[in-house]
Chains A and B, each alone.
Chain A
Amino acid sequence: MEFVQQVVNGLAQGGIYSLIAIGWTTVYGVVGVMNWTHGEVYMLGGFSGFFLFTRLKLPFLPGLLIAMAVGSALAMAIDQFGYKPLRKIGMPRMAGFITALGLSTLLRYSATAGFSPDPQAYPGDLLDYRMITLFRAGGREITVSSLHLFIFLGTLAIMLALELFIRRTLTGKAMLAASQDMSTLELMGADPEKLIKITFAISGALGAAAGVFVGTIYAINTMMGSLAGLKGWSVAILGGVGNMTGSMLGGLLLGIAESLTAGFISTGYKDAIGFIIMILVLLIKPTGLMGYSTEEKV
């Protein structure tokens, strides 16, 4: 029953990956840029949470919401100063990617210069911590810590709210349409710049939320964005880029796969498994698990 326990352990981390991946996938779907700075938004979200919880001594929920607002503002600023000038001159693909690389380096090392490079931990009494027994299986109790359960439910709630926003509101539907065909949407009278702003805001909020959630279990540091960001992008590809449900599923799968790898194979390969799965999936089904293939035109 060790297997079931590991699956349960992986779910919380998986929810966090899903949040990061959705941030990647919405931006790539609507704007078509591989937003390499997303890992940095996640890191800075974690740090704004840290300052809100330790300096201002805010309780969890207001802190989370403010951190998400900070993440939104940051992502919008990144778009405003980084990608928008390039869009005006008809962004070449490579230029967008290199700008993203530059922005991410700039943010990461400015953060290292501004904050302490040492790992920081959230206050211990922020959330209630105890072990909860879920059920008994095979004579063994399957337990989950209240923190992991809380994170998992929190990520699910955020994703559900986003899903409702996308399906039920006009703006959400416009975003969905934009990820399929931006130029047609423009002909229908939608303002692409406004949509792009909203997309970045949502992406930033999700990234920051993921950062705060991670901070409640692990210590945060200024370098954590690079690996987590890339794992998010692998998850987005794994699930099929532009497909939010795919990202959700992919994130949970990756969380479980990492937990199982750590438990049964070797902790040293825990971080590598995501990339291995992603490469295999791309080679077998280049559109990802739930992506739909688009015909390449000349």
Chain B
Amino acid sequence: MWKSSLKYVIARLPRGSGEWFFGSGGRASFIGSAAALLLVCFIDAPFPSVTIVPPYYKHILFSCLLYAILTLSLNFVTGFIGQLSLGHAAFFGIGAYVTGALTKYLGLNFWLSIPAAAVLAAAVAVLLAAAAQRVKGAFLVVVTYGFGEVLRYIAINTDGLGGSAGMPGIRPPSIFGVPFNRIGPSGKEPYILFAFAVVSLLSFFTWRIEKSRTGYALAAIREDEIAAAAMGINTRYYKTLAIVMSAFLCGIAGSLQAGYASFVSPELLSSTQSILILTMVIVGGPRSIKGAILGAALLTVLPEFFHSVKDMFGLGFDPWMILYGLILIVLMRVRPQGFWGKSAVF
């Protein structure tokens, strides 16, 4: 009984392409969400005495958007060329550390450190891409995992980067001489808007690239690499392109995180983080822009919610992690392509 009703619901889930949100197109959704975001951010500004949206919620909102950047980046590897990567937190961490070190030790402007972070992450990704030419599937998973872990050990063991304690005291970015944390009622608003701008641009970029020559080449490689090579597609070039592009974007997210938290720690590079980003893509649905954003939001909000449940009942353990495992198992059983995924691939 419940199985058939579940199937009924699943059959009516929205498809990957087409409408974005309640039947509205991409442009209307963008304007709507931008307006909603501005409202949430600045509704507190006229009334300094009351807090309608607590800063904690704004923090969660920022995390959602930050992870949306990461999932959209990872989507180039997992969605487009169909390879799982468990090392993407490494690129995120590289971005954060580069921004942290450059702004703290060299006094570089935050905005100038973003391209530096992204380019360094991309340069490191060239090495990983070289590995991806030789191995794939389960082997690539463990290579990316090992790669991330090695970088984490380097971060822990390098005293100049703060060691295992991390690097505190990174100056917040400023715009026209005004530091970011002075703008808006809680100081988080400019970060939220900046992250939203990046997510929007990235969504647009992903959407455009999917229907381009590059997008079709990546799709061909995903479906059958040997056949793609036989068709004259330079698989080596396109695979490298996808991985490097993805790392470049993760580096930007890392910079943003370093500026927002004004603190960088080796935890940013941990495999838990990589697994989280990957499962966000899987839950939302690979190759779906909406899916990537939804996955990022779901897996950011739910842990926070269950954390409050834990505090409410005074549990000695975190119920979320158990549920998280269950969700992954059940999802793969009933809908292996993820919530908004187009078709079961891999």
Task: Decide: A99 near B147, CB < 8 A? Known: A94-B84, A230-B142, A271-B153.
Answer: no
The interface residues of chain A lying within 8 Å CB-to-CB of B318 are 109
Interface residues as binary, B83-107 with A (CB distance below 8 Å gives 1, 0 otherwise): 0100000000000000000000000
In the bound assembly, the distance between CA atoms of A99 and B346 in angstroms comes to: 14
Inter-chain contact total with CB atoms closer than 8 Å:
130
The residues in B between 109 and 168 inclusive whose CB is less than 8 angstroms from any CB of A are: 130-131, 134-135, 137-139, 141-143, 145-147, 149-150, 153-154, 156-157
In the bound assembly, the distance between CA atoms of A268 and B164 in angstroms comes to: 11
Interface 9-residue window, one of B45-53, B193-201, B328-336: B328-336
Q: Is the CB of A233 within 8 A of B142?
A: yes
With most chain B CB atoms within 10 A of its CB, the pick from A105, A107, A233, A298 is A105
In-complex Cβ contact of B146 among A99, A266, A279 (8 A) = A279
Q: Is the CB of A109 within 8 A of B332?
A: no
Q: Is the CB of A237 within 8 A of B142?
A: yes
In the bound assembly, the distance between CA atoms of A108 and B275 in angstroms comes to: 15
In the bound assembly, the distance between CA atoms of A285 and B153 in angstroms comes to: 25
The residues in A between 62 and 84 inclusive whose CB is less than 8 angstroms from any CB of B are: 82
Q: Is the CB of B336 within 8 A of A95?
A: yes
Q: Is the CB of A113 within 8 A of B84?
A: no
The residues in B between 156 and 187 inclusive whose CB is less than 8 angstroms from any CB of A are: 156-157
Chain B binding site: helix, strand, loop or mixed by DSSP?
helix
Task: Decide: A101 near B227, CB < 8 A? Known: A109-B321, A279-B147.
Answer: no
Residues of A in contact (CB 8 Å), total 47
B325 beta carbon closer than 8 Å to chain A: yes
Q: Is the CB of B147 within 8 A of A109?
A: no
The interface residues of chain A lying within 8 Å CB-to-CB of B135 are 282, 286
B288 beta carbon closer than 8 Å to chain A: no
The interface residues of chain A lying within 8 Å CB-to-CB of B146 are 230, 234, 274-276, 278-279
The interface residues of chain A lying within 8 Å CB-to-CB of B22 are none
In-complex Cβ contact of B138 among A97, A268, A274, A283 (8 A) = A97
Q: Is the CB of B317 within 8 A of A279?
A: no
Tell me how far the C-beta of B175 lies from the nearest C-beta in chain A, rounded to whole angstroms: 39
The residues in B between 6 and 59 inclusive whose CB is less than 8 angstroms from any CB of A are: none
The interface residues of chain B lying within 8 Å CB-to-CB of A85 are 333
Tell me how far the C-beta of A87 lies from the nearest C-beta in chain B, rounded to whole angstroms: 12
Q: Is the CB of B329 within 8 A of A82?
A: yes
A102 beta carbon closer than 8 Å to chain B: yes
Q: Is the CB of B328 within 8 A of A94?
A: no
Tell me how far the C-beta of A109 lies from the nearest C-beta in chain B, rounded to whole angstroms: 4
Q: Is the CB of B142 within 8 A of A94?
A: no
Residues of B in contact (CB 8 Å), total 46
Q: Is the CB of B325 within 8 A of A275?
A: no
In-complex Cβ contact of A237 among B131, B139, B316 (8 A) = B139
Interface residues as binary, A85-99 with B (CB distance below 8 Å gives 1, 0 otherwise): 110000011111111
B311 beta carbon closer than 8 Å to chain A: no
In the bound assembly, the distance between CA atoms of A97 and B291 in angstroms comes to: 20
In-complex Cβ contact of B317 among A113, A230, A271, A286 (8 A) = A113
Q: Is the CB of B346 within 8 A of A92?
A: yes
Q: Is the CB of B142 within 8 A of A105?
A: no
The interface residues of chain B lying within 8 Å CB-to-CB of A103 are 325, 329
The interface residues of chain B lying within 8 Å CB-to-CB of A241 are 139
Q: Is the CB of B345 within 8 A of A282?
A: no
In the bound assembly, the distance between CA atoms of A33 and B325 in angstroms comes to: 18
A110 beta carbon closer than 8 Å to chain B: yes
The interface residues of chain A lying within 8 Å CB-to-CB of B282 are 94, 98
Q: Is the CB of A106 within 8 A of B325?
A: yes
Nearest B-chain residue to A227, judged by Cβ: B149
In the bound assembly, the distance between CA atoms of A102 and B145 in angstroms comes to: 17
In-complex Cβ contact of B336 among A92, A108, A110 (8 A) = A92
Task: Decide: A28 near B336, CB < 8 A? Known: A269-B157, A275-B150, A282-B143.
Answer: no
Tell me how far the C-beta of B265 lies from the nearest C-beta in chain A, rounded to whole angstroms: 16
Tell me how far the C-beta of B255 lies from the nearest C-beta in chain A, rounded to whole angstroms: 25
The interface residues of chain A lying within 8 Å CB-to-CB of B331 are 98, 102
Task: Decide: A113 near B138, CB < 8 A? Known: A102-B329, A105-B328.
Answer: no
Nearest B-chain residue to A110, judged by Cβ: B322
Q: Is the CB of A268 within 8 A of B153?
A: yes
Q: Is the CB of B328 within 8 A of A102?
A: yes
Q: Is the CB of B326 within 8 A of A282?
A: no
Task: Decide: A282 near B134, CB < 8 A? Known: A93-B346, A226-B271.
Answer: yes
In the bound assembly, the distance between CA atoms of A226 and B135 in angstroms comes to: 23
Q: Is the CB of A98 within 8 A of B328?
A: yes
The interface residues of chain A lying within 8 Å CB-to-CB of B226 are 296, 298
A272 beta carbon closer than 8 Å to chain B: yes
Q: List 5 A-B contacts (CB under 8 A).
A: A94-B282, A112-B317, A234-B146, A276-B146, A286-B134
The 8 A-B residue pairs with the shortest CB-CB distance, nearest first, are A102-B328, A106-B325, A275-B146, A94-B346, A105-B325, A113-B317, A109-B321, A272-B153
